[in-house]
Amino acid sequence: MSEGVSHYVHGQVRALFDDIGNRVDEAGPSIPVQVIGLNNVPIAGDEFEVVASLDVAREKAESRAELLRNERMSARAGDGKVTLSSLASAVSAGKLSGIDLHQLNIILKVDLQGSIEAVRQALQVLPQDNVTLKFLLEATGDVSTSDIDLAFASKAVILGFNVKAPGSVKSYADNKGVEIRLYRVIYELIDDVRNAMEGLLEPVEEQVPIGSAEVRAVFSSGSGRVAGCMVTEGKVVKGCGIRVIRNGRTVHVGVLESLRRVKEIVKEVSAGLECGMGMEDYDEFQEGDILEAFDTVEKKRTLEEASASMAAALEGVGI
């Protein structure tokens, strides 16, 4: 297979897949393909160059990476404070444009050269299918002002293992809005990195059942119709989600807009009580319908859950 370089990404092309998931041996102009074998994910719009050898590709990528670093160092990369938590929330909210949403930039300073490999091996236990760790710098010695400059320019966090940050460096970091995290226990470092990586993942929505009601009668009300119901389980709450079940099948899912109890507007009705229920975009109720009430909540995903979802998606398209 050929060797390629794109911006500061390089590697040996090990496999190509076309736009419908079939493996191909080559791709010409204007042909979209998925490339397997690069050391990282290029930025959309980067040009891809095929070169003679992996060494040439690596040399070109490293040269471009150094140029990019110098450009970033000479331009302001942002005014916000860079922390593990704020980085994750800002990226999730789309406030940091141009940064890979699934990449966490790290500057690692350690006491001994052997500690670099130890920390990296420890972090390898974290699934990186969705969020990759990008080590911009791995070096021994205490945290320095040059580390702060690099972190500020690249929106990276500084992790120190068994090292110190002199007072003057801490002050410089505070002025730049860069966070320095120092560790003596490697497992604490891993936990913090995991939390930051999971903070970059999009949450998933879950429907949590809160109750159900049976439609006993249907009444006209103004321009629509409302369902006269008996709450049979749990409770129904104004504004909650409603799933209309008829003969065992879901016929509509919407929001409970109005809720009355003996003609009075109420916020919720519990099991064993009758009520009138109206939905904001549906009024085709029938006697015997079951109205399932639920709350929609956002749930944070773990790295393992996100990795499993990606694996299932790839399997679904035959990759």
Q: Write the CATH number for 55.
A: 2.40.30.10
- In the chain, pLDDT over 90 holds for what percent of residues? 38
Task: State the pLDDT confidence band at 39, using cuts at 50, 70 and 90.
Answer: low
- In the chain, pLDDT over 70 holds for what percent of residues? 73
* Residues 193 and 92 occupy one common structural domain: yes
Q: Which helix (H) or strand (E) holds 85?
A: helix 84-92
Domain count, the chain: 3
Specify if 16 maps to a domain: yes
* Residues 221 and 277 occupy one common structural domain: yes
Structure tokens of 232?
């049979």
Task: State the pLDDT confidence band at 256, using cuts at 50, 70 and 90.
Answer: very high
Q: Residue 206, exposed/middle/buried by CB under 10 A (0-12, 13-18, 19+)? A: exposed
Per-residue DSSP letter, 165: -
* Residues 96 and 58 occupy one common structural domain: no
How do strand 204-221 and strand 224-237 relate by DSSP bridges?
Answer: antiparallel
* Residues 129 and 209 occupy one common structural domain: no
* Residues 166 and 133 occupy one common structural domain: yes
For 116, phi and psi rounded to 5 degrees? Answer: -60, -50
* Residues 165 and 262 occupy one common structural domain: no
Structure tokens of 67?
């140029």
Quick one: average pLDDT of 233-238?
96
Is the Cβ–Cβ distance between 142 and 180 less than 8 Å?
no
* Residues 234 and 141 occupy one common structural domain: no
Specify if 94 maps to a domain: yes
* Residues 93 and 138 occupy one common structural domain: yes
End-of-domain residue from the set 147, 174, 199: 199
Average pLDDT across the chain, whole number: 80
Amino acid at 41: V
**How far apart are alpha carbons 166 and 172 in whole angstroms?**
10
Specify if 305 maps to a domain: no
pLDDT tens, residue by residue, 101-135: 578 889 999 998 889 888 988 888 888 777 888 88
Specify if 227 maps to a domain: yes
* Residues 94 and 178 occupy one common structural domain: yes
Quick one: average pLDDT of 247-273?
93
In DSSP notation, 224-244 reads EEEEEEEEEEEEEETT-EEEE
Which pLDDT score, from 0 to 100, does residue 124 have? 83
Specify if 31 maps to a domain: yes
End-of-domain residue from the set 172, 199, 226: 199
Quick one: average pLDDT of 156-167?
93
Specify if 314 maps to a domain: no
Specify if 319 maps to a domain: no
Handedness of CA 133, 139, 140, 144 (dihedral sign): negative
Please say if the pLDDT value at position 96 is more than 60: no
For 164, phi and psi rounded to 5 degrees? Answer: -120, 165
Task: State the pLDDT confidence band at 44, using cuts at 50, 70 and 90.
Answer: low
* Model confidence, pTM: 0.49
79: how many CB neighbours lie within 10 A of its CB? 7
End-of-domain residue from the set 199, 218, 248: 199
**How far apart are alpha carbons 8 and 35 in whole angstroms?**
16
**How far apart are alpha carbons 65 and 269 in whole angstroms?**
62
Which pLDDT score, from 0 to 100, does residue 74 have? 44
Structure tokens of 181?
């995290």
* Residues 104 and 130 occupy one common structural domain: yes
* Residues 107 and 179 occupy one common structural domain: yes
**How far apart are alpha carbons 171 and 174 in whole angstroms?**
5
Please choose, from the candidates 204, 202, 200, the residue with its C-alpha nearest in 3D space to the C-alpha of residue 90: 200
Tell me, what CATH number does 149's domain have? 3.40.50.10050
* Residues 162 and 112 occupy one common structural domain: yes
Please say if the pLDDT value at position 38 is more than 60: yes
Specify if 47 maps to a domain: yes
Is the Cβ–Cβ distance between 130 and 300 less than 8 Å?
no
Task: State the pLDDT confidence band at 265, using cuts at 50, 70 and 90.
Answer: very high
What residue numbers bound the domain in which 138 lies? 84-199
